[in-house]
């Protein structure tokens, strides 16, 4: 049994080295797939919920001002209301309004 294991291990290592050598001879090309340039509404909600440390999303709006698209996410977490503005291109938090309910 040990001899069979040794032979199989050797074959796998030799095959792996051969495949690596074949890859080394391939020309290097740059990726033509561009990274995603924007986030979707679900990702924006996740970012907003992380900011408010949880809660219930009560409203979501997509707003575009001066060519900048943003998501405005409203959240209620216990006795606090949050409105989180998120840049739709980068996912950066633009503004957080926080108000305590009476």
Backbone phi, psi, residue 101, to 5°: -70, 150
Whole-structure pTM value: 0.61
pLDDT in tens, 83-99: 999 999 999 999 999 99
41-100, what's its fold?
Answer: Nuclear Transport Factor 2; Chain: A, (3.10.450)
pLDDT at 30 over 60: no
Cβ contact 85:72 at 8 Å? yes
Average pLDDT over residues 30-59: 81
- Per-domain residue ranges of the chain: 41-100
The dihedral region occupied by 91, where left means phi > 0, alpha psi between -120 and 50, and beta the remainder, is left
């Amino acid at each position: 049994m040990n001899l069979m294991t040794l032979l199989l291990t050797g074959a796998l290592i030799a095959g792996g080295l051969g495949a690596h050598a074949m890859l080394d001879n391939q020309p290097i090309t740059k990726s033509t797939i561009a990274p995603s340039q924007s986030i979707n509404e679900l990702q924006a909600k996740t970012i907003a919920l992380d900011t408010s440390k949880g809660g219930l999303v009560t409203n979501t709006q997509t707003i575009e001002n001066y060519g900048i698209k943003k998501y405005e996410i409203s959240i209620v977490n216990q006795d606090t209301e949050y409105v989180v503005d998120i840049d739709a291109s980068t996912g950066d938090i633009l503004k957080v309004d926080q108000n305590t309910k009476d």
